[in-house]
Amino acid sequence: MFQSIRSNKAKTTAIVAGIFLFFAGIVYVISFFLLELGHFAVVFALVISFLVSFGAYWNSDKIVLRLHNARPATPEQDAKLNNILEGLCIASGMPKPRLYVMEDRALNAFATGRNPNNAVICVTTGLLDRLDYYQLEGVVAHELAHIKNYDILLQTVAGIMIGAALIASRFVSRAMIRGRSGGGSNRGGYGALIMLAVGLIFAILAPIAGQLLKMSLSRNREFLADATGAKFTRNPEALASALEAISGSSIPMQRASNATEGMYIVTPCVELRSKRKSNPFSTHPPIEKRVEALRNLR
């Protein structure tokens, strides 16, 4: 367990550094060819990338909760959910995360934040309405396991930065198209051609790199979080049956974000939850394999 936590911290540093450089490259293209900052383009790109990275790290929970329009869970309105989390925190020795609820009929949940002392668990109203006490406990334990294993920082920061890189790459490609249709660039024919080539490269690579990163960040960690959550509850069947109930739902999430897809307990894209085959670009392993692993725990 502790080895996995140390590994996740090291991977957080390496992956965020890679995304930082990728994003800085996109900003450099924008500042050099569009803003024509010359040699100052490198400094501008590094400063902007640092600000985006720091903002994603420090405000990751606020950004994600705002994206989902989540509300704080209250002891009066969400007593069962609060009682479950308090019991799990006692059993695991973890500080109690803040609890939030999304007004969404879909069955899903996620954890976010920068560390166990600044963490959030958020569940949908659909999950609260459809799952029984022990199933809900299994889901909350899974999300608490992500917090304990330091998965949340990597998933959230990487998701936000990947989303920023995708937005920046689209900006480059659209500016490139406008520049071509406008009859050239202020930097001359060679500058326009270079911008055209670089813009195409980023436009093609950004979504592919983003999807591959999300896939690599999530798949193996779901199995670990399932096992750790089952250890907290001492009831692997509760989470296994909860996953089966979630996979049987065909209700899509209304506020799902593609950039943060890997954060959820199951992918919010209902069409990717096939129980018969695994999509190689899915951020989550097949649910039937997770259920099988849970029922084989000893």
The residues annotated as belonging to the active site are 143
DSSP character for 283? S
Structural contact between residues 241 and 135, judged by C-beta atoms closer than 8 angstroms: yes
* CA distance linking residue 281 with residue 167, whole number of Å: 20
185 by DSSP, 3-state: which? Answer: coil
Partner residues linked to 122 by β-bridges: 100, 110
Query: What single letter denotes the amino acid at residue 293?
Result: A
* CA distance linking residue 112 with residue 287, whole number of Å: 22
Query: Smallest Cα–Cα separation from 94: which of 185, 1, 216?
Result: 1
105 by DSSP, 3-state: which? Answer: coil
153 by DSSP, 3-state: which? Answer: helix
250 by DSSP, 3-state: which? Answer: coil
Structural contact between residues 142 and 225, judged by C-beta atoms closer than 8 angstroms: yes
Structural contact between residues 229 and 142, judged by C-beta atoms closer than 8 angstroms: yes
Cα 32 from chain centre: 31
* CA distance linking residue 19 with residue 30, whole number of Å: 17
